[in-house]
């Protein structure tokens, strides 16, 4: 835990305290006020924090606020999620990682995937389930959009993957390494566990390689693809994570590039 030794925490608390009126938290106006918003003692009362302790925080004293104290203040101040995380960081604490969201995509992200037109693009969950895909990707990755479509299952168990991926084994090893990384990031995700179990049961390659303990994060790069119209080409691909849903992965295939020498 980091000591609070600057005035940043106090300035932030003060700015949020002064924007809340007594009536918003069910308190009477309390007569004439020298400053806008709540008084320090009022905020301390509704948050369950002692007035002297809160005063120390707002004054930027060298104190160690606990997550419980900062959470109580965040609730009393009606902070947004982003503001609460900022408050915790100012207090020397790291916000807890967000829980995985539902296996859906925001309509805006789905529209973006469609808007990419002839550039194959798709969005996957941590489990590699395909949550959004455009027509160009459906055409290129034949069979990857089952029920549900899943990149890992397609690469390892669908014969059509051999027809598309020139270097299927290399791609498969990379997918499995990223899936292992996902099991550590999402240890309670039942779908991730189910995909791993299915791969190890149905794919001799996945069963043999899993014990290698290879780990890899999502990366941009290039793949050799057998394109239905262009023949064998090397395509660049870019991997992005939406800020609001970092557990999702957006993959966009772009320009052809010269062969590697």
Q: Angle formed by the axes of helices 40-47 and 67-76, to 10°?
A: 110
pLDDT at 164: 92
The CB density around residue 200, as the number of other CB atoms within 10 Å, is: 17
pLDDT digits (tens, 9 = 90+) for 173-197: 999 999 999 988 888 889 999 999 9
> Where exactly are the structural domains of the chain?
8-90, 107-256
Across the chain, mean pLDDT equals: 85
> What is the topology classification, in CATH, of domain 8-90?
434 Repressor (Amino-terminal Domain) (1.10.260)
Return the closest-CA partner of residue 65 out of 79, 43, 50. 50
pLDDT at 244: 83
pLDDT digits (tens, 9 = 90+) for 76-123: 888 888 888 888 888 888 877 665 555 788 899 999 999 999 899 999
User: Is the distance from CB of 180 to CB of 158 less than 8 angstroms?
Assistant: no
Is the whole-model pTM more than 0.85?
no
Beta strands of 105-220 (E only): which ranges? 121-124, 130-133
> What is the topology classification, in CATH, of domain 107-256?
Beta-Lactamase (3.30.450)
List the chain residues with pLDDT less than 50: 1-5, 257-261
């Amino acid at each position: 835990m980091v000591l609070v030794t600057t005035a940043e925490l106090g300035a932030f608390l003060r700015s949020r305290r002064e924007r809340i009126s007594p009536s918003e938290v069910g308190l009477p106006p309390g007569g004439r006020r020298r400053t806008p918003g709540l008084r320090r003692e009022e905020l301390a009362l509704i948050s369950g924090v002692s007035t002297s302790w809160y005063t120390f925080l707002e004054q930027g004293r060298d104190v160690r606020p606990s997550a419980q104290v900062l959470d109580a203040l965040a609730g009393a101040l009606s902070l947004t999620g982003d503001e609460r995380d900022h408050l915790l960081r100012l207090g020397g604490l790291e916000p807890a990682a967000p829980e995985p969201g539902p296996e859906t995509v925001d309509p805006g992200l789905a529209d973006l995937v469609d808007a990419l037109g002839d550039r194959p693009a798709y969005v996957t969950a941590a489990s590699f389930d395909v949550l959004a895909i455009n027509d160009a990707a459906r055409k290129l990755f034949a069979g990857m959009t089952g029920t549900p479509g899943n990149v890992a299952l397609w690469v390892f168990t669908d014969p059509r993957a051999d027809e598309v991926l020139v270097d299927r084994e290399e791609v498969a090893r990379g997918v499995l390494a990223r899936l292992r990384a996902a099991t550590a990031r999402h240890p309670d995700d039942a779908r991730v566990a189910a995909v791993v179990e299915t791969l190890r049961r149905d794919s001799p390659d996945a069963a043999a390689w899993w014990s290698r303990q290879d780990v890899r994060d999502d990366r941009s790069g290039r793949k050799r693809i057998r394109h239905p119209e262009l023949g064998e080409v090397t395509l660049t691909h870019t991997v992005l994570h939406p800020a609001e849903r970092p557990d999702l992965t957006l993959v966009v295939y772009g320009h052809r590039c010269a062969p590697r020498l």
